[in-house]
Chains A and B, each alone.
Chain A
Amino acid sequence: MKPAPLAYARASDLGHALALWREAGPDARLIAGGQSLVAGLNLRLADVPALIDISRIESLCGLGCEGGTLRIGALTTHAEIGRSEPVARHAPLLTEAAPLIAHPAIRTRGTLGGSLAYADPAAEWPACMLALDAVIVVQSETGERRIPAADFFLGLFETALQPFEILVAVEIPVIAAGRRQAIRELARRSGDYAMAGLAAAGTPSDGGLRDVTLAYFGLGSTAILAAGAMRILDQGGDLEDACAALDDDLDPADDLQASATMKRHLAKVLLRRVVAALSPVMSTA
């Protein structure tokens, strides 16, 4: 349960990190909060010859809002996002999601950028980025690349990041007036990875919702937009029809926590709960 011997260097800035990485070769790994990576190193799941510590690069820290866009630096921790006032105002989904991630002593170290680059299919942040139409900003020696979240998550622990590209920030359109966001997940125990989860956004309209985004997590090899159910809800369709459409949208596999059949059932439970959360409170009069 101890990491194998490895080499280490701490990067002082982004250019330094890229130079160190080039020197160490593509098998070297970046470490920030290390909350998944160090667990993997302890278990010797990964053969890592060298670590480049990016956790003290100032330009990857902090968050701010400008021109209708909330920009969150890659090193921002789950805990920082959870208590950020600008995040609560401009992307309340993230405020709601943060406490669902692992445990307090992990949220103090784990970073947004690390979670997105790792791309665990059961993690909350990738689904949130899909639900909010975020742009993932990455930097290489040749310049910056801006990747829509929908094009970023490619497969199981696989992203559009190329070797020698560093995820530096995400940019999220601020929530529009009248729009609502919500996240629900079902986990066996608080802090466990969810058996199934749903991050969503929508605008209440004429008793229904429009411009709905439904990003499921824990139900496939990546976070998944449920296109069929989204279309039905956008067109003012029935909630149960949208639930039925999930049978085509999602193709979960059995895992240790739940069978595929149970996961399909949980996806529908979550859709009903999220639609209720996004909809205005019904008058009981």
Chain B
Amino acid sequence: MTTAFSESVGIALRVNGEPVSARVEARRHLIDFLRLDLGLTGAHAGCEHGVCGACTVQVDGLIVRGCLMLAVQADGCDVWTIEGQSDTGAIRDLQDAFIARNALQCGFCTPGMLAACADLLAHDPAPSRAVIREHISGNYCRCTGYEAIVDAVEQVAARRGASPRAAE
């Protein structure tokens, strides 16, 4: 094969708002690139075949499985992980509600769960409990039984919805 094919590829992307350039193995998936190459260990590598959701991150505004996207495919993309989402304060209320409601125990699923829940609230400001459950159906939590997570999301939706009216 000619030089069109390569086992290592140069990529340039934005991660948590900052430009990143790197040379990655073509076989490297995005979550390993973020964790092992960039040291962003917030999102976790769990099952590594798309089932558990612990690796959920945001790419170009959409949540994706970090284990099912190759890092080379993120070339030119805008990637956000829990580190960036925490630093901007964009999901502070969701994180606070998770703590207040005991919506996490071991915390392994939590970064992916927060990414999925934040995505839901961004598109559906007042989801029903059934919709919340459906949206996090791809994120396994082995500690909480989900009930507290649904409580937390519901509470944040109610508070976000209430605050504009309260200000009137």
* Chain A interface residues (CB < 8 Å from chain B): 1-10, 20, 23-24, 31, 34-35, 38-39, 41-43, 50-51, 53, 55, 79, 99, 102-106, 108-109, 189-191
Contacts and interface: CB of A to CB of B under 8 A. Distances in A.
Contacts of A23: 1-2, 4-5
Contacts of A39: 49-50, 67-68
13 contacts: A6-B26, A23-B2, A24-B1, A31-B70, A31-B73, A38-B29, A41-B27, A50-B5, A104-B119, A105-B119, A105-B138, A106-B68, A189-B137
Nearest to B30: A38
Contacts of B135: 104
A8 B26 contact: yes
A7 B137 contact: no
A104 B5 contact: no
Contacts, number: 115
Nearest to B4: A9
Nearest to A77: B62
Given A7-B5, A8-B6, 16 more contacts: A1-B49, A2-B29, A4-B27, A5-B7, A5-B26, A6-B26, A7-B6, A9-B6, A38-B29, A38-B68, A39-B67, A39-B68, A51-B26, A102-B50, A104-B119, A109-B64
A2 B116 contact: no
Nearest to B55: A105
B78 interface: no
- Interface bin, chain B: 35 or more
B42 interface: no
A43 B50 CA distance: 11
Nearest to B135: A104
B72 interface: yes
Contacts of A53: 72-73
Residue of A8, A39, A50 with most chain B CB atoms under a 10 A cut-off: A8
A2 B7 contact: no
B91 to A, nearest CB: 16
B32 interface: yes
Contact of A7 (B7, B50, B63, B139): B7
B138 A106 contact: yes
B93 interface: no
Interface string B63-77: 111011110110100
Interface string B25-46: 1111100100000000000000
Given A1-B48, A8-B6, A105 B27 contact: no
Contacts of A108: 62-64
